[in-house]
Amino acid sequence: MLRGEKVLLRPLKRSDITNFLKWFNDPEVTQYLSMYLPMTEMAEEKWIEDAASRIQAGTHVGLIFEAIEGDSSKTIGTIGLHGINPKDHGASFGIAIGEKDYWGNGYGTEATRLILDYGFQQLNLHRIASSTLAFNERSIKLHKKVGFREEGRQREAFFRNNHFHDLVMFSILRNEWRGH
Ligand SMILES: CC(C)(COP(=O)(O)OP(=O)(O)OC[C@H]1O[C@@H](n2cnc3c(N)ncnc32)[C@H](O)[C@@H]1OP(=O)(O)O)[C@@H](O)C(=O)NCCC(=O)NCCS
């Protein structure tokens, strides 16, 4: 469990499937993500099973994040490091707040800082990569704020809402991270 002032990050549970089904079948959320097909309960169960195997193998950290509200907390999203590579000390970062009422309130920024700290301090990572669709202003601001640098763009790589959109590639190296 990783805890900040506003968020806590905890391991996945089978019961999180209910939230996943709600979040990842909401077009307002998925417009920003690479997934585009309806998410079935079977697909979510398989994803959780597969994630459990990757976590066991040490190539994946998948966490649920909760907004701290007094003595309790509300489950609002998911965050992770995947493709953890022990030779190159690299990984990729992903985040989604599925509860839209919680967008734009600093939860994503704090959760990202917590998982970057974990990646660099506990997993001994050297480089964490990420990417976001060019129209996702919130995500672009978040990446820059926590220290990611833009590496380039995959031009018109994603088709969404009848248009092709650029994919902005980011990375952060250990010596660029705040805890260095
Ligand atoms: C992208 C996401 C993780 C950001 O987390 P968040 O908690 O909403 O963002 P934060 O509140 O921490 O703030 C991020 C920045 O965006 C800004 N922002 C907030 N609302 C905004 C808006 N409507 N348009 C542009 N910028 C906005 C904030 O002001 C902040 O920047 P600042 O500190 O320089 O002012 C979250 O909105 C989300 O999960 N969205 C849906 C799925 C998604 O896009 N996932 C990321 C895929 S790469």
CA torsion sign, 92 to 3 to 63 to 143?
A: negative
Give me the CATH number covering residue 36.
3.40.630.30
Residues flanking ligand 1, CB < 6 Å: 29, 32-33, 77, 95-97, 103-109, 132, 136-139, 141-142, 145
Q: Which of 141, 143, 172 to mutate to test the pocket of ligand 1 (most atoms within 8 A of CB)?
A: 141
Its pTM stands at 0.95
What the block records as the tokens of 6 is 């506003």
pLDDT at 143: 98
Contact 63, 10 (CB under 8 A): yes
Q: Which of 6, 66, 138 to mutate to test the pocket of ligand 1 (most atoms within 8 A of CB)?
A: 138
Answer whether residue 180 shows pLDDT above 70: no
CA 73 – CA 63 distance, rounded (Å): 15
Q: Which atom number of ligand 1 is nearest to the Cα of residue 143?
A: 14
Instruction: State which residues form the domain around 59.
Output: 2-126
- The answer to the question of residue 55 being in a domain is yes
- The answer to the question of residue 150 being in a domain is no
- The answer to the question of residue 16 being in a domain is yes
- The answer to the question of residue 174 being in a domain is no
User: Which residue has the CA at smallest separation from atom 17 of ligand 1?
Assistant: 138
Given the structure tokens 């976590």, which residue do they identify?
A: 55
Task: Please state the domain count of the chain.
Answer: 1
- The answer to the question of residue 140 being in a domain is no
142 Cα to the center of ligand 1, angstroms: 6
Tens digits of residue pLDDT in 4-53: 999 999 999 989 999 999 999 999 999 999 887 778 888 888 888 888 88
What is the share, in percent, of the chain residues with pLDDT greater than 90?
Answer: 82
